[in-house]
Amino acid sequence: MSYIVIGATGHLGTLTIDSLLDRGIAATDIVAAGRNADRLTALAERGVRTQRIDLDDPATLEGLFSPDDTVLLISGNEVGRRVAQHGNAIDAARSVGVKRIIYTSAPKADATALVLAPEHKATEELIAASGLPATILRNGWYTENYLQAAEQARQTGTLVTSVGDGKVASASRGDFAEAAAVALIDDTTTGNTYELSGDESWNQQELAAAISATIGRDVTVQNVTSEEHQRLLVAAGLDEGTAGFVVALDGNTRDGLLGVTNGELSTLIGRPTTPLIDGLRAAV
């Protein structure tokens, strides 16, 4: 039996492998599958088995799976291509009848206006149609997503946002990686869908205070309209589509879609989630 991590060369994948090893899983029982050859080499040096794959090319998945394997499919980051990529992995896993599949999805993926959700909802539907036993981890927001905002605040002293009074219940990427490791190891999670988020939600003023404490500079919040935010992002060099995506996410946050706290993440990992300021300090 093997624990296969698809997307192992990304940040979440690498941290998940760290957590598996910390929880006593033998390196030889872990298969790291990803695209980055250098990062695969680094994992192989730790004793982990590796396979270089490209989810756009189903041929690279040949020989990866066996019936006794438990598979973690970490959602890709190529927006617009993820459903097809995830589908290739699901089809390959189904063709050999793997023991179970775990997928990192988005909050309330099947019933939300969150701009990120449609591809995750479609992937969840592909997994359901495959008939494979599954665990769905609907990951909330990563604290590390604010690293760029922290760097901009270091340079300007300002946190520009169109979130308004919206709150975010973030947790560190390491918290979500631990949850993935637990789901891989614990068969009793099979059939469950977990809505994962940090224990506490916070607003932009609290984010600015945390960034200020982290970088050692006073940071003020500049709340702008969505239209003004779009204009500022484009002026800073983002293309219209990317800027629109960022503004839409801020709108989702303003509407409360990323602020739900329910304790499921801390229950799954057996400890409180990492507070905002601690997660920022570790990341910066």
Q: If pLDDT is split at 50, 70 and 90, which confidence band does 263 have?
A: very high
Q: What is the CATH number of the domain that holds 146?
A: 3.90.25.10
Domain count, the chain: 2
* Mean pLDDT, rounded, of the chain: 96
Average pLDDT over residues 146-159: 93
Rounded-to-integer distance, Cα 28 and Cα 126, Å: 30
Q: Is the pLDDT of residue 243 over 90?
A: no
Both 256 and 148 in one domain: the answer is yes
Angle at Cα 79 formed by Cα 106 and Cα 190, nearest 5°?
35
Domain of residue 50, residue span: 3-139
Residue 134 vs residues 42, 98, 149, 183, 262: alpha-carbon distances, Å: 29, 10, 35, 10, 22
Q: Percent of the chain scored above 90 by pLDDT?
A: 92
Question: pLDDT value at position 137?
Answer: 98
pTM for the full predicted model: 0.96
Question: pLDDT value at position 238?
Answer: 83
Both 100 and 151 in one domain: the answer is no
Average pLDDT over residues 251-256: 95
Both 127 and 16 in one domain: the answer is yes
Q: What is the CATH number of the domain that holds 88?
A: 3.40.50.720
Both 145 and 279 in one domain: the answer is yes
Both 116 and 160 in one domain: the answer is no
Both 12 and 49 in one domain: the answer is yes
Q: pLDDT by residue (tens digit) across 83-133?
A: 999 999 999 999 999 999 999 999 999 999 999 999 999 999 999 999 999
**Does the residue 177 lie in any domain?**
no
**What is the secondary structure of 63-100 as a DSSP string?**
TS--TT-EEEE---S-TTTHHHHHHHHHHHHHHHT-SE
